Structure 1
């Protein structure tokens, strides 16, 4: 017989609060931070950073942060196209503010695969593009 506990003394007297996404504004082309961004602009910046950092290469970042693209060099273009889609989705879904990543459009140009996608976040939809060399 398995014992049953009707009331374990814990009550649900709390509510979940979503923290603001305010962050410093990055200006990548000038290698500067200036001002602040929030909500949808902060999400665009977070997506850019997640896909710009190679996962497992930098000890400053958690192993849940970043994407794995460097091992795709030298692989066939069909493999790179399908694998890059999966890796982009996998990297972005780690963020709790991103609900889904879909609508992938893959094009190839010279030695680069361009992947356009839509990230559905709690702030709205973001359409972005990532280039992966092969």
Structure 2
């Protein structure tokens, strides 16, 4: 855990930054396979956020996940929806170089995620529900 000091009206304030250490999800085998941290944890979070329907699961806050009722709006709204969903994670500082390929009722997007731990390239595709 890192500590950050700052001033608030002349008084010293300490804020603890939360660790990003979490369980590594082995989705192919349906199990947990050790621990991950930093950029690996952010990458796993990106895919979890994109695969979680926003507002559909009471265990997550209303800020977690991505809105999935896209229908015909997919071409116009996908970049905004992905960006809003990912920026809700305070480790993610930006989403850039967004590209989308649509074919029929499928879309594949690729983009670059900037985080407090560095940057990573993401490629994601899914049929709209």
Range of TM-score over shorter length: 0.7 to 0.9
1:1-134 alignment to 2 at 5 Å?
Answer: 12-69=11-68, 71-73=69-71, 75=72, 79-134=73-128
**Which is greater in Rg?**
1
CA RMSD of aligned residues (A): 1.5
Q: Which runs of 5+ in 1 are unaligned?
A: 1-9
Rounded to whole Å, the distance in 2 between the matches of 1:27 and 1:110 is 31
Q: 2:3 — aligned with what? A: none
Count of residues paired in the alignment:
120
TM-score, normalising length: structure 1: 0.82
Rounded to whole Å, the distance in 2 between the matches of 1:100 and 1:55 is 20
TM-score, normalising length: structure 2: 0.85
Rounded to whole Å, the distance in 2 between the matches of 1:120 and 1:11 is 32
Rounded to whole Å, the distance in 1 between the matches of 2:121 and 2:20 is 19
Q: Which runs of 5+ in 2 are unaligned?
A: 1-8
